[in-house]
Amino acid sequence: MVDPLLSLAFSMHSSPGVYALLLGSGVSRSAGIPTGWEVVLDLIRKISILIGEDCGTDPEAWYKNKYGKEPTYSGLLEELAKTSSERSKIIEKYFEPMADEREQGQKIPTPAHHAIAQLVKSNQVRVILTTNFDRLMEQALESAGIHPTVIRSPDAVDGACPLVHNSCTLIKLHGDYGDIRIKNTVSELDVFDIRVDGLLDRILDEFGLVICGWSGEWDTALRNAIKRTKSRRFTIYWATKGELNETAKELANFRKAEVLTIQDADTFFKQLAEKIDALSEIDRPHPLSAKVAVSQAKKYLSEPKYKIQLHDILNQEVERILSEMTPNNCSLVEINEKEIQKRFEFIESLSEIAISIMAIGCYWGNKDHYPIWIKAINRLANPPQLHKHSNHNLFSYPAILVLYAGGIAAISDRHYELLYELFSKPKIQIHQPEDITKGLYDALPYQDFKNIFGYENKILPRSDRLFQVLRESMREILPGNKEFERAFDRFEAMQSFWSADTPKAWSIPGAFMYRHHNNEEGSVLTEIIKEHESTGERWSIFKAGFFSGKSERWGHALLRVREMVKEVSKHTW
């Protein structure tokens, strides 16, 4: 039989956002957070001490005998403190960490809370129900950059947006520790406010349910809500550390729930997140997809009548790339090196088909096809998310990869007219149109590539990574490693000259610079200089439009490139 955890991972991965979580006190147990009832019992002990009596081993019985009524959270707090500020201070110590507790990792979000936050961040979970009073879930979500809609009371149900409009809704069924109306006793847990019941009915009807850390023993109203749900659209998965108690068993059997025996909540949610992540990796395009796309592109390049089809297959890939890029998989801020590596690899894999089409198109295409390549670069260089997330992210990376692929392909057969079009026509639209080469470099400079494993000590990690990533995709048109290196270096050299010839007059560094330092006579830079010397005004690069065909402008750009070569050479070995 399939492992229920694997079954759950498949279900959540195939239907993102369909499963809601129901979290009980077991999820916060490893953080040292007491249950509401444990707080009640401790408050009773404090009252007994204040009046000079001993409540013994059964504080609840002592309280009932002494006062003739059931102990309640709100009632006890009102006896101990008369103002809300005083009550808040009494409660705070049960749920907020002291300095020594924080150092010991107590009363702070657990690995389970952080794993759940990642599930929310990746859009796998949108609704969280909890019986806990603590704020660990809120803290974990906020540390992941998520600001949930939190429903702490029946009043909040009325003012809440519909669930479908929220990226994350956290519903605290028993309230929040900062509100003395929280539910603790059997009678309090016996029934929900009609508004909470209505919200629960909608959630349990429209969503699947993953239960963890909840015994089901005391929560009569919640059990009844689960029982009365008529819909059986999605399976209930119930994660339990040991065997379910009789009450929980009866409910699980009634709802035909899948019971998962787990080590603890931390391990369970971490494994669940990892399995879903692995399934996302598997779903990435198969390498054969790029070969099929290249085959199609060749056919469409062969005759003018296929121009529309050629446009469509590249445009579809561009739109697919844009639709799959989110802050959750493109941001490079506040994540570890392993996650940074994964995000680079994700974008590289996501762009693979577009890279292949662009390379084959710019190699075999003609002037009629230029607008197709320019449109693709322009679209990728201006993703909708770019202006909202302007620093340290990968939103511009697909545009860089596609520009390099098209430019290297064009230059490998000396199509300088096309290269000129690729550099001059697309623009990054910020406050005003910005040069594509400089704009893409600024959007993802070499420093961001130093966080990739193995690139920490590279002089120009950006160039080295692009060289590695693009090599296989361009093997069909550049089968030899040396010829690929020469085409790559010539492209980066032309990019450097282009940026050096702009009003900002700054030369983009490239791998050709340190290769020139190591072998000046055999370098691409020396080769380009000799070409100009031998042809003068008839130079093919001038004829394509570079430097407006003027040797004076070429000379100024060359000077700036040489200055950058010197800067790069200072860091060579």
Q: Which residue has the higher pLDDT, 489 or 155?
A: 489
Choose one of 479, 495, 521: the last residue of a domain.
Answer: 479
398 burial via Cβ count (<10 Å: 0-12, 13-18, 19+):
buried
**Same-domain check for residues 316 and 464:** yes
Summarize pLDDT for 220-277 with one digit per residue, the tens: 899 999 999 877 788 899 999 889 999 999 999 999 999 999 999 999 999 999 898 8
- β pairing state of 236-240 and 169-172: unpaired
**Same domain flag for 457 and 468:** yes
Per-residue pLDDT tens digits for 449-474: 988 888 888 889 999 999 999 999 99
* Contact by Cβ (8 Å): 47, 76: yes
Residues 295 and 394 in one domain: yes
Asked if 323 and 459 sit in the same domain, the reply is yes
pLDDT at res. 183: 62
CA distances, 403 to each of 324, 381, 420 (Å): 19, 9, 12
| Sole residue written with tokens 């409540």 | 55
Over the Cα atoms of the chain, what is R_g? Answer: 31
Least confident span in 171-175, 274-278, 390-394 = 390-394
* Spatial CA neighbour of 155 closest among 138, 172, 136: 172
Nearest to 558 by CA among 512, 514, 493: 493
| Confidence at residue 317, expressed as pLDDT on a 0 to 100 scale | 93
Cβ pair 162, 142 in contact under 8 A: no
Contacts 24+ apart (CB under 8 A), 370-374: 370/418, 370/421, 372/307, 372/310, 372/311, 372/314, 373/314, 373/406, 373/418, 373/421, 373/422, 374/421, 374/422, 374/425, 374/426
Please give the sequence-ordered ranges of beta strands (E in DSSP) within 262-362, or none if there are none. Answer: none
Would 127 be classed as within a structural domain?
yes
Distance CA 393, CA 276 (A): 23
**Is 69 domain-assigned?**
yes
pLDDT over 70 at 2, yes or no: no
Is 306 contained in some domain?
Answer: yes
Q: Residues with Cβ < 8 Å from 450, sequence gap 6 or more? A: 456, 458, 461
81 phi and psi, to 5 degrees?
-145, 145
Residues 294 and 355 in one domain: yes
Cα 331 to the center of its chain, rounded Å:
7
Pairwise CA distance, residues 275 & 555, whole Å:
57
Q: Which residues pair with 393 in a beta bridge?
A: 331
In terms of domains, do 533 and 489 share one?
yes
H helical segments located in 391-547 = 397-412, 416-424, 436-443, 446-449, 461-471, 481-500, 511-518, 524-535, 540-543
Taking a C-beta distance cutoff of 8 angstroms, is the pair 195, 173 a contact? no
Q: Is residue 280 part of a domain?
A: no
3-state percent breakdown (helix, strand, coil) of the chain, nearest 5: 60, 5, 30
Mean pLDDT of the chain: 88
Domain membership flag for residue 322: yes
Residues spanned by the domain of 178: 4-32+110-273
Residue 309 pLDDT:
92
Helix (H) or strand (E) holding 193, with range, is: none
Domain boundary pick from 55, 70, 103: 103
> Does residue 61 lie in a domain region?
yes
- pLDDT, tens digit, for every residue of 497-518? 999 998 777 899 999 998 898 8
The structure tokens 């990690």 sit at 461
Question: 17 and 139 share a domain?
Answer: yes
Which residues are bridge partners to 331 per DSSP?
Answer: 393
Binned at pLDDT 50, 70 and 90, residue 4 comes out as: confident
Q: Judge contact between 393 and 330, C-beta under 8 A.
A: yes
Percent of the chain with pLDDT over 90: 55
Residues 438 and 488 in one domain: no
At residue 181, the pLDDT reads 64
Q: Which of 446, 479, 512 is the last residue of a domain?
A: 479
Tens digit of each residue's pLDDT (9 = 90 or more) over 39-94: 889 889 988 998 899 999 999 999 999 999 888 777 787 777 777 677 767 777 88
**pTM, entire model:** 0.57
Per-residue pLDDT at 388 = 56
Burial 413-437 (b: 16+ CB within 10 A, else e): eebbbbbbbbbeebbbeeeeebbbb
Specify if 124 maps to a domain: yes
User: Is 489 in contact with 510 (CB distance < 8 Å)?
Assistant: yes
Instruction: Write down the pLDDT at residue 431.
Output: 67
CATH code of 233's domain: 3.40.50.1220
Residue 183 sits in the same domain as residue 267? yes
Residues 146, 252, single domain; the answer is: yes
DSSP string, 207-248: SEEEEES---SS-HHHHHHHHH----SS-EEEEESSPPPHHH
pLDDT of 285:
61
In angstroms, the Cα distances linking 32 to 44, 97, 109, 474 are 20, 10, 10, 56
CA distance to 115, 260, 342, 400, per residue, from 348 (Å): 25, 36, 10, 11
- State the total domains in the chain: 4
Tokens representing 127?
A: 């609704």
Asked if residue 522 and residue 487 are part of one domain, the reply reads yes
47 and 151 share a domain? no
